[in-house]
A = this chain, B = another copy of it.
């Protein structure tokens, strides 16, 4: 029988390697023969930078277990946008020559919105040349902004790390009996899912952040200062969670934007937290600091969610199963079938319904004052952070696997 090839793309999360392990496990018990891995996303296929994952698995019996808890991307990533299918660009011919050379029957791309765009184009091109190769997208993104799927791998772990970190920052912030404001800036360019996850820090042992601002509603600096100054009359130490992507009513980012765009046309942001820090200092004269959780929120595998990792493995496995069944041009999808007890099942959806669309936080999951989330959001988030990763430690540090 023929072979498969798998690649990873886009920004890192702590669950992308769990999905890679899932694809490998799925393929090992499938009709497919050799499992190839393309280094640095689809560019590895173009540059013939391809490794034999079947051999890697054979050489280390513990490999898959370690891979499942390893952050970022074992195969490396790329930011590479394919030209339009109708462009007649020779890159498509190059790619399909490579697929032929390695006798590829199915290609799996683990990634976010932009990677799904690649899967969509490849399957459309395959259709146009009557190629039988299957193209399957396996979702991931800490941002949780992919459509159709209930949530995305990587999000639950990032949510767990962010909620834990928010708790710990709140403990840190409240030790002095002098007024202070702490601003936690969380990732999420267009969607507030990750920032909303700070709400999980309101529990039996922590009061949670006092205010939460998401990018889904226009940010009004005056209202923010007013929210704060009211709270400072009731409480000494205020902790605010804010998305990096908050914008004013005109759509301008509350940040010092560099004005640069990445390859996909996204604005490069920095500094919503820092900007608010200056505003608070200026308007309220209170002690204030800002904390940018930065890449730690997408890299902290030591605080990943077991639920997230297990689902990520299952998504990879189901991708292989769907390819065997003849599915192509599709992304594997997670459906929440029940919330209490929490259960999911797996299906697939047409990529063209998903690619390049972003799923925002619904307005009805944000409170009327636009500074916290509703119980529906909390119920949605809670099951995703359950369970601790099965880590091995060596000399006090977690054991991950590297190429």
Which A residues are closer than 8 A to B by beta carbons?
12, 39-40, 43, 70-73, 76-79, 160, 163-165, 167-169, 171-172, 174-177, 200-201, 203-206, 289, 291-296, 298-303, 305, 382, 385-388, 393-402
Contacts and interface: CB of A to CB of B under 8 A. Distances in A.
Contact of A160 (B79, B201, B382, B397): B397
Nearest to A401: B205
Contacts of A396: 160, 163, 200, 305, 382, 385-387
Contact of A168 (B40, B205, B300, B395): B300
A99 to B, nearest CB: 21
Contacts of A305: 396
Contacts of A385: 395-397
Contact of A203 (B40, B300, B388, B397): B397
Nearest to A205: B400
Contact of A79 (B39, B171, B176, B394): B176
30 contacts: A12-B172, A12-B175, A70-B171, A76-B174, A77-B175, A78-B177, A79-B176, A164-B302, A164-B397, A164-B398, A165-B296, A167-B397, A167-B398, A168-B296, A168-B299, A168-B301, A168-B302, A169-B295, A171-B299, A171-B301, A172-B295, A200-B395, A204-B394, A205-B399, A291-B295, A292-B292, A293-B296, A296-B296, A302-B303, A305-B396
A174 B43 CA distance: 16
Q: How many copies does the complex hold?
A: 2
A288 to B, nearest CB: 12
A187 to B, nearest CB: 12
A175 B400 contact: no
Given A40-B177, A177-B40, A386-B395, A72 B295 contact: no
Nearest to A393: B388
Contacts of A175: 12, 72-73, 76-77
B203 A395 contact: yes
Nearest to A8: B175
Contacts of A296: 165, 168-169, 291, 293, 296
A282 to B, nearest CB: 14
Contacts of A167: 397-398, 400
Contacts of A78: 176-177
A137 B400 CA distance: 40
B400 A171 contact: yes
B397 A172 contact: no
A323 B73 CA distance: 54
Contact of A171 (B71, B204, B291, B395): B71
Contacts of A70: 171
Given A167-B397, A206-B400, A299 B201 contact: no
Contacts of A72: 168, 171-172, 174-175
Query: Top 8 closest A-B pairs, CB basis?
Result: A385-B396, A72-B171, A168-B299, A77-B175, A172-B299, A386-B396, A73-B175, A291-B294
A40 to B, nearest CB: 5
Contacts of A164: 302, 397-398
